[in-house]
């Protein structure tokens, strides 16, 4: 378990307000895209009839701006300022986790590929990045090329929802024809990467089970995710949990690509292996427990 250094009151308050700053930034992109649709493109009814499309466009532009003009301290699931020994932000949690990646890899929701420099290990054979936001593909491809992963990294234009992912995996020859559900497979990937993405899948429990099904025996799910504040424990904060609810009511999920602040991701992942009597091993640490963006980071290993 990670050691904890209590933040000063000033630092703690700052950590509670940081997500609000990010939310305002995302809102500004949504407003801008809607105004452009009406006044530049002449699509007067687009904000009413095509709100989902404009929302995706706004989030794509916002996320590219975040990841290219700022460091990870201002990313979607940013952590608070340094409040625990040895950590500056949530980005510091990612390298030691992704160091476990090997073999055939599924990168779930890679966004613009900010973790791409951590995937150059010769132990990694091939990477498939399932990214549903088409507005991020150009940046993702550019980053893969820049990191020397152009031939190794393949972009799948879909989410990890089975109805989208199964056809894509069949096109790549990774699933046999006739497969209709991910729980029908005996395993495809050696490693599955979940970095700040499970907060935004439509059904967390189902996704966790399906990702588990995609793992080969002995395979690993590598996780760095922000989660619901553990406010019922000594490591959590009632105030931070209330702020999570406040931000959700302000439209956090709508403006930030369906991201949710109230996910119990650890519980969903642990339950995903119940069909086999649990995981072979789970090495998990918890960080930033008094903030609106507490994290879990670690490795889940499937029984061989």
pLDDT digits (tens, 9 = 90+) for 128-144: 999 998 888 999 999 99
Q: In this structure, what DSSP letter does residue 223 have?
A: E
Q: Which of 87-96, 144-153, 269-278 has the lowest mean pLDDT?
A: 87-96
Q: State yes or no: pLDDT of 84 exceeds 50.
A: no
Residue 78 has pLDDT above 50, yes or no: no
The CATH class, in words, for 1-304 is alpha beta
Res. 1: pLDDT tops 90: no
End-to-end CA distance of the chain: 26
Asked whether the CA dihedral 79, 82, 84, 85 is positive or negative, the reply is positive
Distance CA 140, CA 251 (A): 27
Residue 184 pLDDT exceeds 90: no
Give the start-to-end residue ranges of the domains of the chain. Answer: 1-304
DSSP letter at 238 equals: H
- pLDDT at residue 79, as a whole number: 40
The structure tokens listed for 86 are 């040895």
The SS3 assignment for 285 reads: strand
Rg of the chain over CA atoms, in angstroms?
Answer: 19
271 has pLDDT over 50: yes
Which strand (E) or helix (H) includes residue 65?
helix 51-69
Residue 204: what pLDDT? Answer: 97
Please tell me the distance from the alpha carbon of residue 149 to that of residue 144, in angstroms, as a whole number. 5
CB contact at 8 A, 230 and 293: no
Kindly write down the DSSP assignment for every residue of 13-58, as one continuous string: HHHHHHHHHHHHHHHHHHHHHHHHHHHTS--TTHHHHSHHHHHHHH
Give the model's pLDDT for residue 171: 95
What pLDDT score does 203 carry? 96
This prediction has a pTM of: 0.89
Q: Residue 85: is its pLDDT beyond 50? A: no
Tallying the residues shown for the chain, one arrives at 304
Give yes or no for residue 2 having a pLDDT over 80: no
Provide the pLDDT for residue 302.
98
Q: pLDDT of 196-255, one tens digit each?
A: 999 999 999 999 999 999 999 999 999 999 999 999 999 899 999 999 999 999 999 999
Average pLDDT rounded to a whole number, residues 258-277: 96
Q: Kind and range of the H or E element at 282?
A: strand 281-287
């Amino acid at each position: 378990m990670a050691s904890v250094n209590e933040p000063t009151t000033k630092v703690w308050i700052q950590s509670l307000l940081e997500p609000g700053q990010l939310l305002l930034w995302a809102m500004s992109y949504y407003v801008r895209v809607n105004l452009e649709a009406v006044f530049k493109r002449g699509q007067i009814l687009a904000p009413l009839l095509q709100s989902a499309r404009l929302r995706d466009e706004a989030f794509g532009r916002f996320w590219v701006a975040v990841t290219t003009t700022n460091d990870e301290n201002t990313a979607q699931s940013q952590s608070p300022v340094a409040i625990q020994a040895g950590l500056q932000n949530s980005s510091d949690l990612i390298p030691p986790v992704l160091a476990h990646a090997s073999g055939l890899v599924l990168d779930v929701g890679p966004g613009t590929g900010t973790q791409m420099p951590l995937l150059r290990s010769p132990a990694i054979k091939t990477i498939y990045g399932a990214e549903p936001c088409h507005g991020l593909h150009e940046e993702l491809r550019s980053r893969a090329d820049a990191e020397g992963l152009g031939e190794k990294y393949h972009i799948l234009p879909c989410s990890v929802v089975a109805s989208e992912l199964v056809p894509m995996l069949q096109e790549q020859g990774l699933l046999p024809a006739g497969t209709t559900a991910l729980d029908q497979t005996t395993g495809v990937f050696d490693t599955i990467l979940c970095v700040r993405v499970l907060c935004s899948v439509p059904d967390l429990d189902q996704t966790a089970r399906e990702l588990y099904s995609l793992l080969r025996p002995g395979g690993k799910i590598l996780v760095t995710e922000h989660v619901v504040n553990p406010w019922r424990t000594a490591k959590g904060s009632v105030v931070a949990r209330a702020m999570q609810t406040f931000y959700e009511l302000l439209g956090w999920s709508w403006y930030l690509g369906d991201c949710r602040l109230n996910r119990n991701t650890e519980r969903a992942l642990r339950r995903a292996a119940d069909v086999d009597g649990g995981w072979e091993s789970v090495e998990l640490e918890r960080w930033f427990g008094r903030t609106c963006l507490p994290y879990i980071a670690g490795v889940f290993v499937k029984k061989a």
